[in-house]
Structures are given as structure tokens and as C-alpha cells.
């Protein structure tokens, strides 16, 4: 069975044709429970997200800040497994018809088996993977299997990336380029800053693939700011924080839905 890279491409192209950036939400699988995490993904999509990244919880994340680490710890203590990540992708995609990616560090895939992981992700209806710590020069095996199964390979670029390195990364990736707007870990910031705009400009000089900005966006005004120059706005910690701060699961889901609706206005310039 083929994955949904084309659905991802069509979704991003559709947002562009509407004269706006896409809204991409991030939520970890298994948080607060596996079933609760699936409902959270569906709430983000129902609220207005175009795409969702489902995080595969990791005990030692290198990109994720304290908010997402807290959610990952809850998921891991709950016993979340790769099978639960695949279930999250499958049920969220079936319920919404929207593209779902997995964001994961390389070690869990390496241990699980690249062929097994890509085959199962495609079978679940996944659109691809974001791989923040897989070096492009070591990615040939992954990309071979991802291509075979119709999955996007999304690499991360940072303000520190030199132009030659950007060209190498964008030539190998597909779906979109994840532009980390700030050095450091994920989390909400007061300002997303000029670094992001410069990074998008330099990345676009190397590729026609959409460039989506993450790390720091937490409200509609910031989403609108980033949407002026990026093809997509990626929001993670702010969604997770809504759930962590909620008095109960139902309130958490409503918080996710409301934030997605607010951010959706932002990417449309209506904040």
C-alpha cells in the first residue's frame, strides 16, 4: 500500500493557491493516553490545522523543549509503543482525510527496522516522516524505502546551516522543508524573529519544495507574522501546553480545537 505523500503535496499546494500558509500542528502520540492522543490530533484538524505531525515519544529528545518533554514522559510512562503511533496515524487520517506525518528521532526506526516502519506507516495512511537527527549523508536507506512506500522525507534546516548545506538537504528531502526558526529547543517564544525569514529566503533559493517554519509560534499574531514569508506555520508546544494546563481531558481537547481555530485565522491573515 502506498503512503500519502501526494495528499501532503496537494494540501500544501492548496493552501498556497488560497494565498495563505498551511497550518501544521504537532502532538505526541500516547498523550495523555493513546486514545486521548488520537482525539487531540482529530481536535487540531477539526479546529483548522491542515496537517498534523504525530510525535513518537523519546526518552532523550534533542529538539524538544520542556513542554513536549513533559508530554513525552507521560506517554512513555503509559507504555506507548510504535504500534500506538501507527494507530494514531491511522485513526486520525481515517477520521479526517488529512495528511498525518510522524516526527521521530532516528534510533527508534533503526531498532524497529526501516522496511517494517515505512511499510506500516504507509499502510496506516501516513504521509511521511520528519527526521530531525538523521544526517542527509546517512539517509539513503531510509529514502529508498520511503520512496518505495510513497512517504515524504522531511529534513530540518537551521539558521546555522550554510548555503551549500541547505542545498544538499533540500535536494534529498520531499514534502516540505522544516525550517527551525531559532537555535535551540522547541517552545513558545515572545517573538519568532528575523532569523526565520532569512532562513526561509536562503532555503527557497535552493528548492521549490515548500518551506515551513517551526519552533516558537504560539498565537495567531505570531502565526500571521510567519505566514507572511513561509509556506507553512508549525506549532507544537502551544498545543501540548493547552492539554497540560487543562483541568480535564475534555477541556484539553477544547483548548486544542480553539487554538487551532485561532491559528487558522492567523495563517489567513485574519488574526
What does 80-96 look like in DSSP terms, one character per residue? Answer: --HHHHHHHHHHHHHHH
Instruction: Name residues whose C-beta falls within 8 Å of residue 111's C-beta, 6 or more positions apart in sequence.
Output: none
| d(C-alpha 13, C-alpha 205), whole Å | 18
Please work out, in degrees rounded to the nearest 5, the angle formed at the alpha carbon of residue 238 by the alpha carbons of 131 and 117: 25
Which is catalytic among the residues 39, 50, 53, 120?
53
Place of cell 516502519: 117
What does 126-154 look like in DSSP terms, one character per residue? Answer: --EEE-TT--GGG-HHHHHHHHHTT-EEE
Cα distances from 145 to residues 7, 129, 152, 186, 267, in angstroms, run 18, 12, 10, 29, 33
Displacement of CA 15 from its chain's centroid (Å): 16
Which is catalytic among the residues 46, 50, 60, 64?
64
Residues in the chain: 271
Helix (H) or strand (E) run with residue 51 in it: strand 51-55
64 is catalytic: yes
Please work out, in degrees rounded to the nearest 5, the angle formed at the alpha carbon of residue 89 by the alpha carbons of 27 and 173: 80
The residues annotated as belonging to the active site are 53, 64
Amino acid at each position: 500500500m502506498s503512503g500519502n505523500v501526494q495528499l501532503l503535496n496537494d494540501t500544501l499546494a492548496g493552501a498556497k493557491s488560497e494565498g495563505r500558509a498551511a497550518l501544521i500542528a504537532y502532538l505526541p502520540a500516547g498523550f495523555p493516553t493513546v486514545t486521548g492522543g488520537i482525539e487531540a490530533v482529530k481536535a487540531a484538524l477539526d479546529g483548522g490545522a491542515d496537517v498534523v505531525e504525530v510525535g513518537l515519544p523519546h526518552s532523550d529528545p534533542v529538539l524538544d523543549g520542556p513542554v513536549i518533554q513533559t508530554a513525552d514522559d507521560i506517554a512513555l510512562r503509559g507504555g506507548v509503543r510504535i504500534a500506538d503511533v501507527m494507530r494514531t496515524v491511522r485513526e486520525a487520517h481515517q477520521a479526517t482525510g488529512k495528511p498525518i506525518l510522524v516526527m521521530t528521532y532516528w534510533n527508534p526506526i533503526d531498532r524497529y527496522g526501516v522496511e517494517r516502519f515505512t511499510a506500516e506507516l504507509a499502510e496506516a495512511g501516513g504521509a511521511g516522516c520528519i527526521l530531525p537527527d538523521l544526517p542527509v549523508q546517512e539517509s539513503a536507506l531510509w529514502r529508498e524505502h520511503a520512496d518505495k512506500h510513497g512517504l515524504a522525507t522531511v529534513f530540518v534546516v537551521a539558521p546555522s546551516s550554510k548555503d551549500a548545506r541547505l542545498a544538499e538537504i533540500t535536494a534529498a528531502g520531499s514534502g516540505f522543508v522544516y525550517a527551525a526558526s531559532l537555535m535551540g529547543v522547541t517552545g513558545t517564544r515572545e517573538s519568532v524573529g528575523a532569523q526565520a525569514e532569512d532562513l526561509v529566503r536562503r532555503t527557497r533559493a535552493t528548492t521549490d519544495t515548500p518551506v515551513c517554519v517551526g519552533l516558537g509560534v504560539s498565537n495567531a499574531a505570531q502565526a500571521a507574522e510567519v505566514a507572511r514569508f513561509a509556506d507553512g506555520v508549525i506549532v507544537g508546544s502551544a498545543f501540548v501546553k493547552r492539554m497540560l494546563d487543562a483541568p480535564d481531558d475534555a477541556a484539553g481537547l477544547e483548548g486544542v480545537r480553539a487554538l487551532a481555530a485561532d491559528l487558522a485565522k492567523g495563517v489567513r491573515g485574519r488574526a
